[in-house]
């Protein structure tokens, strides 16, 4: 019993004095954790990890340590029994803890310390970030994990541009941040703040932010002791052939004809390079130059720097516990390769130690260069295979019309996006793929707010989306279903539509707009209930209508079976006009022989041959083989500036329920060749006058003038009746009767 008490007392004394080269402390853990051994790895742009094996007399539950702030301290070696002095303390959290074994009064545990940023690997998201630069997105994610201004620092030489879109797709926050930073060449390391007892993430992008002034002598320690002197040894450079240059190209539809080619070769002394690597579709919008962030040439330079980072790599060993990634180690000694004279940029350290073994540190690095900076290796971008559902979004909910920008692009809200973004600003402006496009021509039916669309990504790049197509859903049902599966319909939100019916023997088309119920129907025409309305075609409107053809219009009912023949095949109509002209010519000759007025046949023939035929001039020709009728509820007018020609093969009938007026500025001629002429007034008077000239009435045979019920009145200043050689003359001088024969007067 007394020996146990003495042993426990000695252990407490050792704890108090800190008689160990390594120490681990966990916040609010009351138990002393004695380090048995440890192994650690620290690398640029990677979370470090310390795997520590400890012994403890207490039975520790995982909940006492998990996610608790913790520290691991490396202390000076023990000399003359004096307490160890802390040399470097690493601050982090415990993210792994397990019991290994139980032996006597001790229990062996294993725990792992990681920086707080490593916990971001447990958060995976699908998210979009708009109008932000890469550093801004990284800061937003860090702050979402509770990290504040003192927990990270951007020490950047460049100012990074705002990007339209940055997409996180099925990536952990850690992997996403690593990918973004690697793309733009930003690397990161850790510093330990003893005041707040926390790790601090330092983001940097050039040689200016390296940590300088680390000098260690090149001394090979003996097997038994290193005499307490920090040194470096076993430096081994490895050389490789790498590409001699990088070329990039991209396409930016916003500036479609601007070249996007860049070719960059970063100059560096020594080393073997050959060939060229060509990368297409880097995430840049302009060609730029090597110094302007996120241009084509700038990305090409970063690419080449990554290749040159592998041209010569260095490994070595050191005894300094404070050597960390991001420092420039300057080995002091002879026989150092020329390429390392300016120093070694430490890119990673791997350390280990134990109670019964000395401290060991192996490092990796690259030669320091003024022209080539360390660049983290690129991580693969997520590949967006297939499409993602989204909804078109206007800046006004349920907007009546499409919400477009001046390039015809849309705003959408991706279904996976959980951000509460302002209406109409959830995503960048997207182009819509179309079946046909050109210079201000193509096919584009505007999409309205709420329409489901499928968003695809150019080359699978999550930051290059476009609208592939629109889809119907339960809230926006399809207008072609099993109930009308024979129809092909293009219908707009305003109910303008173009419909094609494929049902056999009922084929038809309909082009319609609701304004004025204006429609063009063709084929087997039906109503809204699909009941037949007729066949053929119908052009109708409740508003105004006009048919206009600048070179000529042909309206015809002449058959053209199966649409065989020329569009302007007017042979039947022209033939009928020619027949009419021939008949009029014959009548004209007869009228001329009878000394009647004749027709203007020359103008009629000119109209037919020089204008109507093949529409040599702008004219209107109407034709029907069986008949043409015009009717009006009120008035009907036919007017021409020159000749109006009416002809008929049989009868030309004119009638009016009131008056018929025939007026001519010069002459009126009526000619009947065979059957005579009749002028009859059934009820009223008949008046025939020659107001300024003479009147002649002649017949070949009997000429009769009679009045059935009233007197016959003939008046003139002088009246003379001639017949058979006798005459009677009446004038103001009296009555003169003359005859060559007998003069008889009879009375009953």
Average pLDDT for 14-24:
67
pLDDT at 129: 96
**77-81, 164-168, 170-174, 614-618 — which is least confidently predicted?**
77-81
**71-85, 427-441, 534-548, 710-724 — which is least confidently predicted?**
71-85
Average pLDDT for 160-188:
96
Query: Is the same domain home to 233 and 246?
Result: no
Q: How many domains does the chain have?
A: 4
Residue 598 has pLDDT above 90, yes or no: no
Query: Is the same domain home to 26 and 103?
Result: yes
Domain that holds residue 257: 241-309
Query: Is the same domain home to 8 and 94?
Result: yes
Annotate 425-481 with DSSP letters as a single string. -SS--B-B--SSEETTEE---PPPTT-EEEEEEGGG-TT-EEEEEEE--SSS--S--
Report the relative pairing of strands 719-723 and 620-623 from DSSP bridges.
Answer: unpaired
Angle at alpha carbon of residue 521, lines to 517 and 527, rounded to 5°:
70
Residue 540: other Cβ atoms inside 10 A: 12
pLDDT > 70 fraction of the chain, expressed in percent and rounded: 96
The alpha carbon of 470 is separated from its chain's Cα centroid by a whole number of angstroms, namely: 11
Query: Is the same domain home to 245 and 100?
Result: no
Summarize pLDDT for 639-677 with one digit per residue, the tens.
Answer: 988 888 888 888 888 888 888 888 888 888 888 888 888
In the structure, what pLDDT confidence band is assigned to residue 82 with cuts at 50, 70 and 90? low
Alpha-carbon distance 120 to 382, whole Å? 18
Which H or E run contains 589? helix 571-593
Query: Is the same domain home to 144 and 260?
Result: no
Alpha-carbon distance 730 to 737, whole Å? 9
**154-158, 164-168, 564-568 — which is least confidently predicted?**
564-568
Is 614 within a domain? no
Alpha-carbon distance 413 to 408, whole Å? 17
pLDDT > 90 fraction of the chain, expressed in percent and rounded: 62
Summarize pLDDT for 670-696 with one digit per residue, the tens.
Answer: 888 888 888 888 888 888 888 888 888
The alpha carbon of 360 is separated from its chain's Cα centroid by a whole number of angstroms, namely: 58
Alpha-carbon distance 97 to 371, whole Å? 44
Cα atoms in the Cβ-side hemisphere of radius 13 Å centred on 228: 6
Is 362 within a domain? yes
Residue 16 has pLDDT above 60, yes or no: no
**74-78, 442-446, 669-673 — which is least confidently predicted?**
74-78
What lies within 8 Å, CB to CB, of 438 at 6+ separation is none
Alpha-carbon distance 626 to 458, whole Å? 64
pLDDT at 669: 86
Which residue, 87, 114, 141, sits at the end of a domain?
Answer: 114
Query: Is the same domain home to 93 and 159?
Result: no
Residue 311: other Cβ atoms inside 10 A: 22
pLDDT at 709: 85
Is 583 within a domain? no
Query: Is the same domain home to 179 and 317?
Result: no
Pick from 679, 597, 602, 707: which is nearest to 610 by CA?
602
Annotate 31-90 with DSSP letters as a single string. S--EEEEEEEEEETTS--EEEEEEEESS---GGGTTT-EEEEEEEPPP-TTPPP-EEEEE
Which H or E run contains 576? helix 571-593
The answer to whether 525 touches 539, Cβ cutoff 8 Å, is no
**104-113, 403-412, 738-747 — which is least confidently predicted?**
738-747
Average pLDDT for 617-642:
91
Query: Is the same domain home to 94 and 218?
Result: no
Query: Is the same domain home to 201 and 159?
Result: yes
pLDDT at 1: 45
Q: Which two tokens stand for residue 736?
A: 């003169």
pLDDT at 522: 94
**23-27, 209-213, 371-375, 639-643 — which is least confidently predicted?**
639-643
Read off the pTM.
0.83
Is 234 within a domain? yes
Q: Which two tokens stand for residue 508?
A: 């038809």
**426-430, 488-492, 546-550, 599-603 — which is least confidently predicted?**
599-603
Average pLDDT for 544-561:
92
Q: Which two tokens stand for residue 610?
A: 């020089």
CATH code of residue 199: 3.55.50.10
Q: What phi and psi, each to the nearest 5 degrees, are found at residue 15?
A: -60, -45
Query: Is the same domain home to 167 and 229?
Result: no
Alpha-carbon distance 452 to 450, whole Å? 6
Query: Is the same domain home to 127 and 88?
Result: no
Alpha-carbon distance 528 to 526, whole Å? 7
Which residue, 382, 407, 440, sits at the end of a domain?
Answer: 382
In the structure, what pLDDT confidence band is assigned to residue 19 with cuts at 50, 70 and 90? low
Query: Is the same domain home to 37 and 23?
Result: yes
pLDDT at 81: 55
pLDDT at 10: 47
Average pLDDT, the chain: 90
Higher pLDDT, 15 or 660: 660
pLDDT at 14: 52
The answer to whether 34 touches 55, Cβ cutoff 8 Å, is yes
SS3 labels along 610-625: HHHHHHCCCCEEEECC
The answer to whether 325 touches 44, Cβ cutoff 8 Å, is yes
Residue 357 burial class via C-beta count within 10 angstroms: exposed 0-12, middle 13-18, buried 19 and up? exposed
Beta strand spans in 205-320 (E) = 211-217, 232-239, 242-243, 246-249, 261-264, 273-274, 277-280, 312-318
Cα atoms in the Cβ-side hemisphere of radius 13 Å centred on 425: 6
The answer to whether 473 touches 467, Cβ cutoff 8 Å, is no
Is 280 within a domain? yes
CATH code of residue 101: 2.30.110.50
Name the β-bridge partners of 43: 348
Alpha-carbon distance 668 to 549, whole Å? 36
Angle at alpha carbon of residue 314, lines to 310 and 320, rounded to 5°:
140
Summarize pLDDT for 335-370 with one digit per residue, the tens.
Answer: 888 889 999 999 999 999 998 888 999 999 999 999
Beta strand spans in 507-643 (E) = 508-513, 518-526, 532-540, 553-556, 620-623
Residue 6 has pLDDT above 80, yes or no: no
Instruction: Please tell me what DSSP assigns to residue 483.
Output: G
pLDDT at 2: 52
Is 332 within a domain? yes
Residue 159: other Cβ atoms inside 10 A: 9
C-alpha dist (Å) from residue 437 to 290, 390, 429, 442, 489: 36, 23, 18, 4, 21
Helix (H, G, I), strand (E, B) or coil at 735: strand
DSSP H stretches of helix in 70-226: 134-144, 173-183
Which residue, 382, 409, 438, sits at the end of a domain?
Answer: 382
Is 403 within a domain? no
Q: Which two tokens stand for residue 479?
A: 């207008």
Q: Which two tokens stand for residue 729?
A: 């003359």
Pick from 42, 40, 47: which is nearest to 174 by CA?
47
Instruction: Please tell me what DSSP assigns to residue 670.
Output: -
Angle at alpha carbon of residue 725, lines to 719 and 730, rounded to 5°:
15
Residue 17 has pLDDT above 50, yes or no: no
Pick from 325, 368, 328: which is nearest to 347 by CA?
325
DSSP H stretches of helix in 204-274: none
Average pLDDT for 274-283:
87
Number of residues written out for the chain? 748
Residue 18 has pLDDT above 50, yes or no: no
Asked whether the CA dihedral 315, 318, 324, 328 is positive or negative, the reply is negative
Is 503 within a domain? no
């Amino acid at each position: 019993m007394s020996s146990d008490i003495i042993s426990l007392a000695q252990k407490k004394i050792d704890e108090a004095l800190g008689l160990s080269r390594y120490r681990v402390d966990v916040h609010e853990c009351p138990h002393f954790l004695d380090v048995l051994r440890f192994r650690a790895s620290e690398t640029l742009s990677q979370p470090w990890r310390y795997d520590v094996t400890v012994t403890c007399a207490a039975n520790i539950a995982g909940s006492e340590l998990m996610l608790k702030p913790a520290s691991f301290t490396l202390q000076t070696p023990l000399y003359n029994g004096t307490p160890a002095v802390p040399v470097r303390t690493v601050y982090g959290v415990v993210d792994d803890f397990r019991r290994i074994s139980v032996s006597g009064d001790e229990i062996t545990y294993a725990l792992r310390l990681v920086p707080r940023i490593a916990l971001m690997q447990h958060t995976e998201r699908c998210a979009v970030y708009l109008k932000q630069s890469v550093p801004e997105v990284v800061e937003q994610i860090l702050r979402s994990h509770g990290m504040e201004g003192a927990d990270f620092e951007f020490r950047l030489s460049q100012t990074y541009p705002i990007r339209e879109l940055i997409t996180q797709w099925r990536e952990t926050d850690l992997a996403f941040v690593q990918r973004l930073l690697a793309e733009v060449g930003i690397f990161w390391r850790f510093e330990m703040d003893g005041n707040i007892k926390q790790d601090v993430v330092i983001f940097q992008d050039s040689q200016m932010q390296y940590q300088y002034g680390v000098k260690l002598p090149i001394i090979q320690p003996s097997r038994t002791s290193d005499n307490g002197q920090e040194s470096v040894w076993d430096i081994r450079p490895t050389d490789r052939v790498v590409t001699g240059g990088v070329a990039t190209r991209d396409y930016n539809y916003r500036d479609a004809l601007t070249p996007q080619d860049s070719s960059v070769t970063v100059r560096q002394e020594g080393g073997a390079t050959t060939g060229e690597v060509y990368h297409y579709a880097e995430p840049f919008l302009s060609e730029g130059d090597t110094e302007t962030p996120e241009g084509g040439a700038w990305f090409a330079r970063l690419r080449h720097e990554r290749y040159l980072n592998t041209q010569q790599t260095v490994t070595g060993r050191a005894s300094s516990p404070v050597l960390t990634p991001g420092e420039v180690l300057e080995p002091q000694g002879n026989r150092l390769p020329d390429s390392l004279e300016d120093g070694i940029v430490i890119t990673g350290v791997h350390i280990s130690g134990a109670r019964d073994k000395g401290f060991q540190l192996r490092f990796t690095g690259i030669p320091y260069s003024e022209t080539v900076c360390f660049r983290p290796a690129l991580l693969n971008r997520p590949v967006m295979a297939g499409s993602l559902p989204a909804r078109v979004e206007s800046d006004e909910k349920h907007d009546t019309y499409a919400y477009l920008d001046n390039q015809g692009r849309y705003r959408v809200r991706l279904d996976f996006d959980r951000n509460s973004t302002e209406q109409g600003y959830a995503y960048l402006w997207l182009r819509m793929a179309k079946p046909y496009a050109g210079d201000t021509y193509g096919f584009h039916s505007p999409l309205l707010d709420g329409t489901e669309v499928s968003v695809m990504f150019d080359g699978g790049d999550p930051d290059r989306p476009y609208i592939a197509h629109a889809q119907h859903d339960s809230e926006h049902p399809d207008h072609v279903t099993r109930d009308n599966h024979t129809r092909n319909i293009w219908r707009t939100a305003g109910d303008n539509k173009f419909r094609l019916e494929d049902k056999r023997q009922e084929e038809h088309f309909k082009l319609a707009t609701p304004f004025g119920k204006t429609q063009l129907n063709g084929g087997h025409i039906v109503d809204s209930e699909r009941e037949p309305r007729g066949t053929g075609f119908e052009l109708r409107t409740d508003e105004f209508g006009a048919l206009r053809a600048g070179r000529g219009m042909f309206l015809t009912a002449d058959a053209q079976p199966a649409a065989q023949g020329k569009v302007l095949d007017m042979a039947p109509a022209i033939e009928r006009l020619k027949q009419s002209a021939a008949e009029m010519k014959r009548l004209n000759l007869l009228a001329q022989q009878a000394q009647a007025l004749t027709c203007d046949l020359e103008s009629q023939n000119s109209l037919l041959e020089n204008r109507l035929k093949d529409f040599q001039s702008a004219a209107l020709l109407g034709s029907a083989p069986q008949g043409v009728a015009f009717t009006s509820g009120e008035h009907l007018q036919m007017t021409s500036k020159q000749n109006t020609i009416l002809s008929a093969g049989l009868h030309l009938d004119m009638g009016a329920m009131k008056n018929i007026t025939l007026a001519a500025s010069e002459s009126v001629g009526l000619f009947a060749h065979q059957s005579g002429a009749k002028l009859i007034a059934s009820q009223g008077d008949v008046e025939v006058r020659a107001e300024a000239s003479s009147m002649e009435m002649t017949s070949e045979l009997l000429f009769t003038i009679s009045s059935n019920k009233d007197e016959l009145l003939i008046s003139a200043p002088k009246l003379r009746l001639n017949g058979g050689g006798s005459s009677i003359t009446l004038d103001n001088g009296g009555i003169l009767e003359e005859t060559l024969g007998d003069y008889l007067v009879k009375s009953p």
